[in-house]
Structures are given as C-alpha cells and as structure tokens.
Structure 1
Amino acid sequence: MKKFTLVAVGLLFNIIAFGQQLALDKDKLFDFYQNQRYAEAAEYLKQNYGENTDDLKALTQMGYCFLMAGNNVEAEKYYLKANLLQSKSLPILFNLASINNRRGNTDKAKQYYGAIVEIDSNNFIVYKLLANLYNSNKDSLKRVYLLKANKLMPTDGDVAVDLAEVHALYQDYGKAYEVLNVAIKADNENFVLQRTKLPIANYLKKYDEVIVAGEALLKIGPDAAVIKDVAKAYYFTKKYDKAVALFTQLEKMQMQNENTLYFTTLCYRYLKNFKMAAMYAKKTIDEGISPNIPNYYALLGLAYEENQQYSMANAAYKKGLFFDTNPTLYYRLAILYDTKLKQIKTAKSYYKLYLKSKPNVRIDEQEIKFAKARIEQMDLTK
C-alpha cells in the first residue's frame, strides 16, 4: 500500500508540474487523485493534453489513470503510444504486460515481460510474474522462471511456495524442503510456508518436525490439510491413539477421503480394536467407489444392447449392481430379459426388483407405469 501511495504521489507531482505549463486546475486534479476518481482524472487530462499528444509524461499519466479506473482499452492505447516513444521503459512494459494479462491475452503479456528480461535479466519481479502466467506446475518454463526468481530472492514466500510445489511434483522433496526452509527462516510467522512444508517433511520422514510445527498451527485454528499431515506423522511414529483422534476430527469436518479412512483403519488394527478396524475398512471401500459407477455400467450395458451384444449387456448391468442397487440397472435388465432374451420369468423378477428399489416417482413416472403394467400382463398369461 505504501508503494502504491508513493507512486500515486509521484505522478501527482508530475501532473502538477505539467499543470503549471498547461494551466491545469491543480486543486481539481488533487481532488480526483485523493478521492481515487481516476476515470474523471483521465478524462480531464485527456481534454487538456489532447488525444494526439506526443508528450511521453502526458501519455503515461493518462495511461495510468485509465488503468486505475479499470479502462484497459484506453490505458493500453496511451501506453502503446508511450512505448513507441520510449520502447525500453520498464514501467511502460510492465503496465502493457499487466493490461494484457488482465484481458486474458497471456501470449502478449509474455512478450512484454520477455522484453523486460532482455533489458534487465536480474529483475526478480518479472520472473515471478512470468511464472504466474503458466497455470500448470508441469510446464517446464514455469519451473525455469521460478528457479530464476528464487535464486534472485530466495526469501520471497510466494515464489518459495510455488517452487516447492513444482519440486514436489517431480518428487524432488529435498529441494522443496530446502527452498521452504530458507523462506521460513526469513519469515517464521508465514503460515502458508509452514503449511506447505508439512506434507514435504512427512515424505522426508521428518515426523517429529511435522508434529511440533503442525500442532502449533492447529492452535491458531482447525485446518483439514494440517490435521491430515499431523495425523499421518502420529501414525508413522506409532502414536495411533493420537492419529485416530485427528482422523476422526477430519470426519466431523466432513473432510475425510479414501486415504485418511485407510490410515484410520490401520490405526484401529494396530490398537487391536478389530471391530472399529472392520467398520473403517468398509468406509474406506465405500469412499473409494464413485457413486457414479452404476450409471457408467448402465451406459456401457446400453451400448452393448444397442449393438445386439446381449450377453455382454447382461454382464455389464449385473456388474453395476455389484456396486449399488441402482433402479436403472434393474429396469434395463428387466427390459433385456423381456424383449431381447425372451426369459419372461426372469424379466418379471427384475421388474419387481425395479419397483422395490424406489425409483424416482416424478422422473421415472413412465418407466414405473410400464413395469407395473408389464407385471400385470405376465400374471394374466400364467
């Protein structure tokens, strides 16, 4: 905020200096800036300087005002004119890159940042901003820019976190740990850095460190990611009761997953609480199975059925039922046995199972009516 204020004040002094030459109303400009009425300031400057001015300071001041007002189109217009007059001005290039980034034109933003690198190859900010233009941590250029930024300023927390995540993706856990350590030493109250370090420390088997740092973070407030990392550290140090307490806390927060339930199962097993171990083993299985799997098998079976591969359709529908008693699967089996396989007795049993599985009365109204009617017809033909 202080940096922004200094920039604004500096620009204001420049405008006032020009105002003396162009008879601008200095009080009016000061009021615009003080109250952050940048759109009005921009229009006022535009009226006085003129749209076709070739004055570099005038162009940059108008560009800045339009930029602050959120008018990226006008801001770019004036900064482009300024860039023609002074092509190697870092502030102009930074602003042009920022404008294009805001508008989603990342390729142009990269070009402007690239021009800055050519002028100043040791500019930390430009490497940090370039890295942010790459969304995927798998992108090799993102890694290159983060490495350069981190080398120039290893204490920057944002870059350290991003670079550590990239290192971790490539399983360079030692490098990730060291990058975070350096940044944490410079800012030991940066909780983002500390949270990022926990899973990496777990990978490196620094369990005691995870427990100490994690418990300190949990005193600040509950955090599902921290709870999971500390719980795992307790598990690996064979403090199963403490691990269970934390894994159970995740369940209360509805933040459990297949992995945390699996570790909970193991904890109960080592605690010789086999009843709870069995219960959590079932929870782990249920969590690992997507609720959409029966629908996928229904779709697969329908594709086989439409291709007249009836035995394969039958197998697909039944495989889906292995995961859940899905009404659609029962209905498809009933139709298959009724109309294609001509096994009326089996078809009737599946129609009944379909009705018992409580299909949606509103959505499946026609199917329900058909199933009931077909059962009645079958009863009449006995």
Structure 2
Amino acid sequence: MKFPIFICFFIFISGVNAQMIDKEKLLEYYESQRYAEAAQYLQSVYPEDTKDVKALTQMAYCNMMSGKFPEAEKNYLKVNTVEPGNLPVLFSLANINSKRGNAANAKAYLLEIIQLDSLNFSAYKQLAGFGDTPESKLQYLKKANALNRTEPDIAYDLAVAYREIKQYQQAYDVLETAIGADKDNFTLQQAQLPIANLLGKYEEVVETGENLLKKNTDVNVINEMGQAYFYLKDYQRCIALFKTLEDLGVQNEGTLYFMALSYRELKEYDQAAIYAEKTIDEGISDHTALYYTALGGIYKSKNRFSDALEAYKRGLMFKNSNTIYYRLGLLYDLNLKQAKNAVTYYNLYLKNKPDPDKEKEQISYAKARIVSLTHPKEVAIK
C-alpha cells in the first residue's frame, strides 16, 4: 500500500510549488493513512477556487480515501471541468457515485469512458453491474470477456448469465477458457460442474469433482457428483454421496429424490419408499399454507372466486389454518352465497381455537354469522 502512495505523493509534489507545501508533514499524513488530515492540510494551502489540477486531484483522492464522498466528488468535478476526458477522474467519479447509490450517474461516467476508450476492459466490467436488463448486462459481460477471456470474475458472471438463459455450451466454453489460464481456481471449476452435468458430461463431473474433494470437502461438489453418478447408473456411489449430505444434515428435496430413484433402480423398494416419503416431506415448506392464503386473497380481490376457493383448499392440504378456515367462511358466505358451506368453515375456524385476544372480532363475527345463516327467520324476527 505504501509504495503506490509514495509514487502519487512525489508526482504530486513535483508538479506544484514546493515552497507552498510542507513536504514532511504531508508525507507523514500519507504514511499513516490520515487522509482526512491530508485533505484539510491541502485545502488550507490552496484557495477554494484553485484550478490547479494536480492539487485538486490530490485533495479529491484524500477525501475519497477518508470517506468524504461529497467533497471528493466536488474536487473531481472541478478537475473534469478544467481537464475533460481524464479517464482516472471519470473512473473516480463513477466509483464515488456507485458508493453513494447513484447508479444512473455512475453508469453515465462509465459510458463516457467507453466513448473515449472503446476497449476499456475495466469500464465494461463495471458497466455489467449497472445493466438495466439481463440482455444489457449480458452484452457488457460479453464485451469485457472478449477483451480479457481469462479474467475470472467476468468469466464467472458471464457463465452465470449464459446459464440463466439456458445457453449451457457458451457458459461451459467461457469457464473452460478461464480455467485453462488458472487450473487451480476452485470457484471456476465448481461453477462449471452443474453446467457440465446439464451438458451430459458426467464422467468429467466425476473426475473434476474427485480432484476438488481432495482439496476441500464442498457440499455443492458432492451434490453434482451424486447426480453424475446417477446418470452414469452407478447407483451405489450416488447413494453413498447423498447419504454423506444427509449425515451432515444438508440434504434437500433433490438429493433425497435421487436417493429414492437409486434405491428403486437397485430394487431395494423398502428404502426407495422411505426416501420417497422423505422427499415429499422435504418439499413441503412450513410456509406453503401461508403462500396459498396469499394467493387466495389475490384471486378474491380480482373476483376470481373459484380460483380463490381452490387456492385456499390447497393451503389446507399442508396445514390446518385458522386464517384459511375463516376466509373460506367469508368466501362461501359473502361471495358464493353458499350458506351451508359458510357455516361449515366458520365452525371449523372456531373449533381450531383461534386466539381470543388477537382474533376477538373475527370470533364474534363468525359466531354471529353462524346464527344468522342457520336460523335466518329467527334473526329476521328479532
């Protein structure tokens, strides 16, 4: 860190009036990384309306390094006015705006950079993070990758973008090139495994996975290897790998499903049935009923009452829910005008012991509607 700081310092000193600057004091600020104090010192030396580019740049840098982004931006903008088209200044302005959450401004500065330098890799790399659409992000990543095919971060991000649009061969090729330049890059190899599986390169997945596991036990690698062994019809190894994940408590619906299928292929039907049931249990979320409740409410708001009814009832398949019982009562009562079904669900709501404090109004309403719907004539006389 000190070496480039000294370079900046001496370049700066050589370009300004040395008599105006206490070199030793400024050097001390830099050595101890007291950038805020360095900025204050420089501001005390130069007038506020100075147009000295080197001084303004140095003050801007010190303010940026000390986290004073508004002051840094102000200084850099002055430099940009005096000396437009300065790429380091434009990059700094883009960086400051990015850190302050001003994405539109940051992107504008980066676009200005590529207008000045259409082959600027760093600008395209940063622009990918400001892509307004998946398509624009992909284009920026492709351009950056074309300029530097071995840069690992861009290769990884581009492969992910290709995978999202199901262009698996392109994703694989991008990673293959980057891995060729860095054969020990665990992250790139791990990213390539699921893509290789999707392309049917199962033996490659197993070979690469085994090498990776020698360096580091990773559940994602084990997961991809287990799938590869399944498609290679090596069901015992598939089970063994996924059993490892189960023992670690990191199984999921997919791993359990492959275990069920593997036991079935081995004609171990009792075990297959056990893991089929585990798969079903794993696939059911504690929140599934809540999701169907929300869906039912959406359909009801759109007057799609039959769809709302179906959504609520699906929710009950996962969990007995006071909220769903109550909403079904309301739906049958007020929207579908089916009194008998409304009473059934109001009763189920009450039998399910709703909280008497939190649901006081709903309980009172359900009881009143049961009486009204069950004895409409008596209610009318009263």
TM-score when normalising by structure 2 = 0.82
1:372 Cα deviation (Å)? 10
- Structure 1 residue 234 corresponds to structure 2 residue 229: yes
Between the aligned partners of 2:101 and 2:306, the Cα distance in structure 1 is 52
Name 1:128's counterpart in structure 2.
125
- Which has the larger displacement, 127-136 or 200-209? 127-136
User: Is contact 1:22–1:48 with CA below 8 Å preserved after alignment?
Assistant: no
Name 2:379's counterpart in structure 1.
none
- Structure 1 residue 70 corresponds to structure 2 residue 49: no
1:15 Cα deviation (Å)? 3.6
Name 2:144's counterpart in structure 1.
149
Q: CA RMSD in A?
A: 3.6
1:186 Cα deviation (Å)? 1.1
Superposed counterparts of 1:237-248, under 5 Å: 237-248=232-243
1:45 Cα deviation (Å)? 0.5
Report the identity percentage. Answer: 47
Between the aligned partners of 1:148 and 1:313, the Cα distance in structure 2 is 48
Between the aligned partners of 2:297 and 2:86, the Cα distance in structure 1 is 64
- Structure 1 residue 274 corresponds to structure 2 residue 269: yes
User: Is contact 2:16–2:55 with CA below 8 Å preserved after alignment?
Assistant: no
Between the aligned partners of 1:253 and 1:19, the Cα distance in structure 2 is 64
Change (3 A) 1:238 1:329: same
Give the aligned residue type for 1:97. A
Give 1:101's match in structure 2, choosing from 98, 102, 105: 98
Name 1:165's counterpart in structure 2.
160
1:102 Cα deviation (Å)? 1.4
Change (3 A) 1:163 1:369: same
Name 2:380's counterpart in structure 1.
none
Name 1:189's counterpart in structure 2.
184
- Structure 1 residue 201 corresponds to structure 2 residue 181: no
User: CA-to-partner distance for each residue in 1:286-335, whole Å, 9 max, x for gaps?
Assistant: 44445444345556767899999999877665443233333434455678
Name 2:378's counterpart in structure 1.
none
Give 1:55's match in structure 2, choosing from 52, 63, 66: 52
User: CA-to-partner distance for each residue in 1:9-42, whole Å, 9 max, x for gaps?
Assistant: 2211134335762332211111111111101101
Name 1:322's counterpart in structure 2.
317
User: Is contact 2:325–2:345 with CA below 8 Å preserved after alignment?
Assistant: no
User: Is contact 1:163–1:176 with CA below 8 Å preserved after alignment?
Assistant: yes
Between the aligned partners of 1:120 and 1:77, the Cα distance in structure 2 is 24
Number of aligned residue pairs: 372
Give the aligned residue type for 2:18. Q
Between the aligned partners of 1:90 and 1:320, the Cα distance in structure 2 is 58
Give the aligned residue type for 2:86. S
Change (3 A) 1:105 1:253: farther
TM-score when normalising by structure 1 = 0.82
For structure 2, the 5+ residue unaligned runs are 375-382
User: Is contact 1:293–1:320 with CA below 8 Å preserved after alignment?
Assistant: yes
- Which has the larger displacement, 12-21 or 187-196? 12-21
Change (3 A) 1:187 1:297: closer
Give the aligned residue type for 1:181. E
Change (3 A) 1:271 1:356: farther
Q: What SS is found at the alignment partner of 2:150?
A: coil
- Which has the larger displacement, 271-280 or 329-338? 329-338
1:161 Cα deviation (Å)? 0.6
Change (3 A) 1:56 1:239: same
Give the aligned residue type for 1:271. L
Give the aligned residue type for 2:216. G
